[in-house]
Every structure is written in structure tokens, then in C-alpha cells.
Amino acid sequence: MKAILFDVFGTVVDWRGSLIRELSAWAQNRGLNVDWPGLADAWRGAYMPSMNRVRRGEIPWMNLDDLQRQSLAEIGEKFGLPPNLAEADREHIVTAWHRLDPWPDAIEGLTRLRRHFTIAPLSNGNVALLVNMARRAGLPWDMVFATELFRHYKPDPETYLGAVALLGLKPHETMMAAAHNGDLAAARALGLKTAFIPRPTEYGPGQTRDLQAESDWDFVAGDIADLARQLGA
């Protein structure tokens, strides 16, 4: 194995907690009364349906920022976002996805893994989002693989195989690491190795999915640092 590809939202960064923390403080300074936990959950809930619309050809290709912008416009008022919110403020909310905080183990684990393997995100986030996030959080990627590069969203095969090809590797020389069993199932079907990293609070205290490995993945680790330990890094 020569490279490890990582899912980002939920696996490497705490998207829900980050959005709620930042946007709650930001809104308080502006006197806005918004249900940020509810909005974050609904926004994430719109994530896959919006990508499926692209996948089915119902709308032209859009990167994740554009899809998130569109979804926010559709759901924001339900959670207290004013309809006449200034465009600059609305853009600040959309780009909060660029400013997500890593899980406590992420930087240490990735840094250790990078000494032995090529590491990169394979994320439905777009290039600008992933670069901005990495620079802010100090994520030590060797490369950024946004599915935007392939004009397909995971779990389309083009995303996994596209990243493998750009690294000049074979699927069996590459591993997908994720907190989502479905992501790993799609990668395994194409010949990639797999590592499951549970994040039981990704979706908040009432999380009911991806609490544990649902298949015999090649590795099951407590966190990214534990994965590094298991791989001798």
C-alpha cells in the first residue's frame, strides 16, 4: 500500500460542531436568532439529495459550494435566517464549510501517516474549500482530490479510480479511510483497501448510523492516530 485517501466531512473534520460553534458566535454579534443545530442538520440532510440531482442530470454540474449555497437558500428561513440577509453575510455562512475544525486526533494521525504514505483527501468538497480548510486547520495533505476534478460525486466510481490514476497507482495500492460504511463499500468494490474510523458524534448526540464497522474492512481504528499505530507509523 502506497497511498491513503481520506473522506473529510465527518472523518477528518467535525463539520456539525464547527458550524454550530462558529455561526452561533457570528449570529450573536449580529443579533440574529437562528436555530443553528437544526440548520446544520437540515443543511447536511440536503447534501446527498442535491448531489443526486446533479448525478441524474436534473441540474448541470455544480461544485459543492454552489450546491450548499442553493440548499441554504431553500432551507434557511425555516430555521430563522432572515430572507433579506445581506449577500456578504450569506456568503460568510456558506463558506463556513471552508473553516471546519479537525477532530482532536486528526493532525497527529495524518502527520504520522504522511511519513510512510502519500495522503490526500478524496472529498465531495470542491478544490477551494479543501485548500482553504487545509491551510486554516494545518491538515498536512500531499495532494487535494476534490471530486470536482472528475465532475462526479462519490460514490461514483470515477472519483475513486480518478484519484488512484492521478497518483499513478493501482487500486490495491491505495486505501480509502472513512467514517462512513457506504463510502468504504464503494471503494472496496473497485479494489481499494479500506479503513473504518468511527465518529459516533458526527451527527450529534442522537446519531444512529455508522456507529460501527458494518463489514470486514481491512482496518478498523479508533481514530486516525490509532490507524497510524496499526500501520506502523
Q: What is the mean pLDDT of the chain?
A: 97
Average pLDDT over residues 65-93: 95
Residues 106 and 76 in one domain: no
Where among 82, 98, 114 does a domain terminate? 98
Regarding whether 106 and 160 lie in a shared domain, the answer is yes
Per residue in 158-209, pLDDT tens?
999 999 999 999 999 999 999 999 999 999 999 999 999 999 999 999 899 9
Question: What's the CATH code of the domain at 166?
Answer: 3.40.50.1000
Q: Which residue has the cell 502519500?
A: 118
Please report, for the domain that includes residue 93, its CATH number. Answer: 1.10.150.240
Tell me: do 153 and 178 sit in the same domain: yes
Nearest of 214, 224, 174 to residue 194 by alpha carbon: 174
Report pLDDT digits (tens) over 212-230. Answer: 999 999 999 999 999 999 9
Helix boundaries (H) for 64-211: 64-75, 87-94, 106-114, 127-137, 157-166, 181-189
Beta carbons of 153 and 159 less than 8 angstroms apart: yes
Task: Give the whole-angstrom CA distance, residue 111 versus residue 4.
Answer: 12
Answer with the one of 80, 98, 116 that is the final residue of a domain.
98
Beta-carbon-side half-sphere exposure of residue 138 (alpha carbons within 13 Å): 8
Domain boundary among 98, 129, 159: 98
97, pLDDT greater than 90: yes
Is residue 18 scored above 90 in pLDDT? yes
Residues 223 and 174 both lie in one domain: yes
Q: How far apart are CA 231 and CA 195, in angstroms?
A: 11
Same domain, 141 and 226: yes
SS3 category, 1: coil
If asked whether residues 226 and 126 sit together in one domain, one would say yes
Beta-bridged to residue 220, according to DSSP, are 196
Percent share of the chain, pLDDT over 70: 100
125 with 72, same domain: the answer is: no
Provide the pLDDT for residue 110: 98
Specify whether 33 is located in the same domain as 66.
yes
User: Total domain count for the chain?
Assistant: 2
pLDDT of residue 30: 87
Question: Are 160 and 186 members of one domain?
Answer: yes
Residue 10 shares a structural domain with residue 46? no
Q: Are residues 72 and 149 in the same domain?
A: no
Would the pLDDT of 29 be above 90? no
Q: pLDDT band at 146, cuts 50/70/90?
A: very high
Residue range of the domain that includes 62: 15-98
On whether both 120 and 84 belong to a single domain, the answer is no
SS3 115: coil
Out of 44-53, 83-92, 102-111, the most confident range is 102-111
User: Cα 63 to chain center, whole Å?
Assistant: 14
